[in-house]
Amino acid sequence: MENPSIGRPILVAIISWLSLLGGLLSVIGSVVPMFIYGTGFGFLSTTLSYLFIGGILLFISSFGLSKMRKWGLYLFTFWAVLGVAWSFYAYVNLQSIFPLPGLLLNKMLPNVIPILVAIYLWVINKKFN
């Protein structure tokens, strides 16, 4: 029987497990408040919807990354770019409500790690099928 982990870098295995865990926590963390507070309109509903969709994307991409598939790489990259876009959206909405200096930096810092991970995955993209 063929071992699927042969040829898979250990860092990709760690990233896939963390993506699986992060996706599950994101889905659970968005579904529970939706059931408690409802799905009304507004910034909270938009945020919970983003967390739910992002969690599903991250969860699915973890399986592609663990099998070293290109679609997992594409999905993870899409999720990372979506995080940057969401941060800009949240910054624009929050800046109109709470004009705080440094808010853009605080919204963008959490997106640095997924973007760096996506860059790493694209550097080793030749190993993906």
Q: Across the chain, how many H-helices and E-strands are there?
A: 5, 0
Higher pLDDT pick, 3 / 75: 75
- Asked if residues 30 and 51 have their Cβ atoms less than 8 Å apart, the reply is yes
Q: Please choose, from the candidates 125, 127, 114, the residue with its C-alpha nearest in 3D space to the C-alpha of residue 15.
A: 114
pTM of the predicted protein model: 0.80
Higher pLDDT, 105 or 56: 56
With a pLDDT cut of 70, the percent of the chain lying above it is 79
Q: Tell me the torsion sign for CA atoms 61, 83, 48, 110.
A: positive
Residues found in the chain: 129
pLDDT tens column, 12-67:
999 999 999 999 999 998 888 877 776 666 666 777 888 899 999 999 999 999 99
Task: Estimate to the nearest angstrom the gap between the alpha carbon of 118 and the chain centroid.
Answer: 10
H helical segments located in the chain: 10-37, 43-66, 70-97, 103-108, 112-123
What is the structure's pLDDT at 1? 42
Give the pLDDT score at 107: 67
Of 98, 101, 2, 14, nearest to 62 by C-alpha is 14
d(CA 94, CA 114): 22
Mean pLDDT taken over the chain: 83
> Can you read off the two tokens belonging to residue 12?
């990709």
Angle, CA of 115, 117 and 121, to the nearest 5°? 115
